[in-house]
Amino acid sequence: MNFYSRWIANKKPNYDFIRLRFIAFGITAVLIIGSVASMAIKGFNFGIDFAGGLVIEVKTTDGPADLAKMRGVLNGLGLGDVALQEFGNTHHDVMIRVQKQEGDSHAEMAALNRIKQALGAGYDYRRVDVVGPKVGGELKRDGALAVALAVMAIAAYVWFRFEWQFGVGALVATFHDVITTFGLFSLFGLEFNLTTVAAILTIAGYSINDTVVEYDRVRENLRKYKSMSLYDLLNLSVNETLARTILTVATVFLSVVSLLSLGGEVLRGFSIAMLWGLVIGTYSSIYVAMPVLIYFNLRSGKEKPAEDGAVGEAAP
């Protein structure tokens, strides 16, 4: 354990997190309802992966790419929405995204040929992908299924690893993190693609990791402090894992900020989702997953003060 870890551990925090549970439940309800409303009313800004279209990766061979010139040429072709983004560190690699063309795959190939003719020489075409609506629909279904199965598998694991009450708490917290991330992308119109789905699955894994650590401390304290009230025991458990939570959040935060600032446009959506997931996952572990346990009877057996000692005293 390094100096900073020892310093945090020696501080012995004693914050009353559970006291704010009703405010937290209100915030949680607003976030979930707002996310569902945004998805129902505004929908998503689906990327090429889901909406279909043409994705072209090119590399300039005559020097750094001139995005302004390329954009002006392609916008004059009348192909609809055309987006260009530079990726990599050499300023030679460009990703061209063109919206789905009316017609079948022949229309997409015709659009590709027009793009090649308009840009002319000096470009090396590294990758060309044509995503049709049928493939996009299948990807939507598979992505939603992957997220749903991941959430259910996480809840089943926690149920098996602890007790059913913990499984319910983990399910509520993970659902909260996932649905609010969907709401974030819907509300701000961020591009929603397969990378976003990967970020949501990563968020679910990060969130449940923090929740399991706190739940494990709750289970340990339930055996250790037989007569302590559940309210105080949950507060104690959160405070005892607070140092670990701070260190983990700080480390992941620095990594994600580096991705956001240096990863370029390609990783922008993934980085934004991860930053949001970092904040909302930490919040849900403390203010959703833990307070929910108050409303379950975690002490299944009768207390034995004569055998286990005084109130709040550790059992031998």
The whole-number average pLDDT for the span 43-70 is: 80
The whole-number average pLDDT for the span 102-125 is: 80
Share of the chain above pLDDT 90, in %: 12
Residue 93 pLDDT greater than 60, yes or no: yes
Residue 266 pLDDT greater than 70, yes or no: no
8 A C-beta contact, residue 162 and residue 219? yes
Name the residue among 199, 198, 197, 193 with its Cα closest to residue 97. 193
Where does residue 108 rank: exposed (0-12), middle (13-18), buried (19+ CB within 10 A)?
Answer: buried
- pLDDT of 127: 82
- pLDDT of 305: 40
Per the listing, tokens 């390609």 go with 266
Taking residue 240's Cβ as centre, other Cβ atoms within 10 Å add up to 17
Taking the C-alpha atoms of residue 47 and residue 50, their distance in angstroms, rounded to an integer, is 6
Residue 14 pLDDT greater than 60, yes or no: yes
Run of H or E residues at 8 = helix 3-11
- pLDDT of 84: 78
Per the listing, tokens 């055998």 go with 307
Average pLDDT over all residues of the chain: 80
Superfamily of domain 3-45+135-298: Multidrug efflux transporter AcrB transmembrane domain (1.20.1640.10)
Confidence of residue 114 (pLDDT cuts 50, 70, 90): confident
Kindly state the tokens that stand for 83: 């987006």
Helix (H/G/I), strand (E/B), else coil: 296: coil
Helix (H/G/I), strand (E/B), else coil: 116: helix
The CATH number of 53-131 is: 3.30.70.3400
Per the listing, tokens 């929603």 go with 192
Domain-wise residue ranges, the chain: 3-45+135-298, 53-131
Type of residue at 71: R
Convert 209-236 to b/e letters by CB count within 10 Å (16 or more is b): ebbbebbebbbebbebbbbbebeebbbb
Where does residue 196 rank: exposed (0-12), middle (13-18), buried (19+ CB within 10 A)?
Answer: buried
Cα(first)–Cα(last) distance of the chain, in Å?
27
The whole-number average pLDDT for the span 227-246 is: 86
